[in-house]
A and B are shown apart, each in its own frame.
Chain A
């Protein structure tokens, strides 16, 4: 068993999810099934293999350091669950 129910609860906390008891039960089972399957990767010898195959020969392109104005604050706030002026309103962050 790679993950226990306690582990699953901790991971849910990290992921900002809130799983109920039944969901946690099910998730524990499913995660263990999937993790058991991916153990397969340990059969592969990856000594001296780079994890960055994608980057071979490539450079991250740079953008010119120019300021551009985003003119549409109103439209950007349209989807906000709660907004005031040019702010998104959230529950108190600092107690």
Chain B
């Protein structure tokens, strides 16, 4: 039974197609693992529905029906992506604890068309705000390697579940690094697509100009597979790009000869942990041995990225979370009062501390008298950060960096120090600010704890990222 969990999604897909495995057997195996797991990766599980869907796929297959290659393959979905039906979409918040969505997200429609099976909703930082999965109303997620350490966030549950083989695939979301950073800390692969590559319809919005849904998997090939299922234009998301979806899985076959890879000085500061640096340097050497050429580059506005990000993201969050007012859905306070009092107490009771902090900051930077000094200024700096990438990509095809400055820290380390926690995102936020795609793949361990290496690519060039990451992964011990 446990051998089944070691298989990649691609391998599972092949064995399901050939009839060697039934979808029921596959789903039962993973559901059983989920049931026995103690890391608190999941907020909810849809056992009966998943098994019913699995049976449907098995029946269709034995009836000789033509099925998509992914039919019967299970996955888990971060709990800020809506699935229609009784199973709540909570965003790991008390304010949405019982919210049963009346519609499916675009990516869920695509998963259903591909006949993949959602096993349940993954735990996360509340409303995707956090880098440690400690901000969940349903309790923290425990790291897969050391349960006293964080799995990273905000897609901590998804990353840990994939690392623990509770599912072969997961969908997470990334606003400032929330797929890539937990992927790095948990020792799995995680990709943030280009802004606009995957529809945000049905993703509960945090930072609308920054959010993207993306895949988490143990192997790059599987990330490519899931990306090709969910990518593509959706007219219900006005920021969704009308750009053709290339053959991401086919892209993995290419060689790396002549590929130019930039190493930005600003991501390798003297203060970077030398053990992390060593692991990332080893990846550079491997890429060179595979035929890629590396060169030193500069992304001069990197040091301003966190400041710009925390103004823009919180501003957008304060606007996006205004809808949670106890009127149409979500928690409404039982204390009676006038309308304003109802808003205030419902929101106060429903939101956690980090969410309140970000709403407050966002409200402040957008308020009269401060908009120009903060929000407008941050957006201008964002333009400069984006230009850094545009300039760099005139010389190189990919940019390589560490994903995070350190491996996983102990739960509770940043209790009273939000700024230090925010600085953990230092290598990941630039990709969200610029809209470029980026992947984190495992780069070995430091003191037994996983670290990741990040590859950043041109807008809509996920293929090159996947190709390089796939080759690199092949070489990792």
Asked if A14 and B361 sit within 8 Å, CB to CB, the answer is no
Report Cα–Cα, A23/B402, bound state, in Å. Answer: 36
Do A31 and B235 contact each other (CB < 8 Å), given the known contacts A79-B99, A88-B328? no
Tell me which residues across on chain B come within 8 A of A33, comparing CB atoms: 418-419
Tell me which residues across on chain A come within 8 A of B310, comparing CB atoms: 34, 37-38
Q: Which residue of B lies closest to A7 (CB)?
A: B364
Name the interface size band of chain B: 35 or more
Q: Does B476 contact A (CB under 8 A)?
A: no
Tell me the minimal C-beta distance from A46 to chain B in angstroms. 4
Give me the interface of B with A, judged by CB distance under 8 Å.
98-100, 102, 209, 235, 238, 301, 303-304, 306-308, 310-311, 318, 322, 325-332, 336-345, 347-348, 351, 356-357, 359-361, 363-364, 367, 374, 376-384, 386-387, 418-419, 422, 435
Query: What count of chain A residues pass the 8 Å CB interface test?
Result: 50
Tell me which residues across on chain B come within 8 A of A43, comparing CB atoms: 304
Asked if A19 and B356 sit within 8 Å, CB to CB, the answer is yes
Report Cα–Cα, A51/B363, bound state, in Å. Answer: 19
Asked if A34 and B418 sit within 8 Å, CB to CB, the answer is yes
Give 1 or 0 for each of A1-12: 1 = CB within 8 Å of chain B CB. Answer: 001000110011
Tell me which residues across on chain A come within 8 A of B301, comparing CB atoms: 44
Q: Does A76 contact B (CB under 8 A)?
A: yes
Tell me the minimal C-beta distance from B362 to chain A in angstroms. 8
Do A79 and B235 contact each other (CB < 8 Å), given the known contacts A14-B367, A91-B338? no
Our count of residue pairs bridging A and B at CB distance below 8 angstroms stands at: 147
Do A82 and B361 contact each other (CB < 8 Å), given the known contacts A40-B304, A51-B383, A61-B235? no
Q: Does A66 contact B (CB under 8 A)?
A: no
Report Cα–Cα, A78/B301, bound state, in Å. Answer: 48
Residue in A17, A54, A81, A90 whose beta carbon sits within 8 Å of that of B209 in the complex: A54
Do A76 and B102 contact each other (CB < 8 Å), given the known contacts A33-B418, A53-B382? yes
A-B contact pairs, 24 of them (CB 8 A): A8-B360, A15-B359, A17-B348, A17-B356, A18-B344, A18-B345, A18-B348, A27-B356, A31-B360, A34-B419, A37-B422, A38-B374, A41-B311, A41-B374, A41-B378, A49-B384, A50-B380, A51-B382, A53-B382, A63-B235, A72-B102, A80-B327, A90-B327, A91-B338
Tell me the minimal C-beta distance from A22 to chain B in angstroms. 12
Given contacts A16-B343, A38-B310, 15 further A-B contacts (CB under 8 A): A11-B363, A11-B364, A15-B359, A18-B347, A23-B356, A30-B418, A34-B418, A41-B381, A44-B380, A53-B386, A80-B327, A81-B327, A81-B332, A91-B339, A91-B341
Most chain A CB atoms below 10 A, which of B310, B337, B383, B384: B383
Report Cα–Cα, A76/B103, bound state, in Å. Answer: 9
Tell me the minimal C-beta distance from B242 to chain A in angstroms. 8
Q: Which residue of A lies closest to B334 (CB)?
A: A81
Report Cα–Cα, A25/B382, bound state, in Å. Answer: 32
Tell me which residues across on chain A come within 8 A of B361, comparing CB atoms: 31, 34-35
Report Cα–Cα, A81/B345, bound state, in Å. Answer: 14
Tell me which residues across on chain A come within 8 A of B338, comparing CB atoms: 91-92, 95
Report Cα–Cα, A43/B303, bound state, in Å. Answer: 11
Q: Which residue of A lies closest to B233 (CB)?
A: A61
Tell me which residues across on chain A come within 8 A of B381, comparing CB atoms: 41, 44, 46, 49
Report Cα–Cα, A5/B307, bound state, in Å. Answer: 23
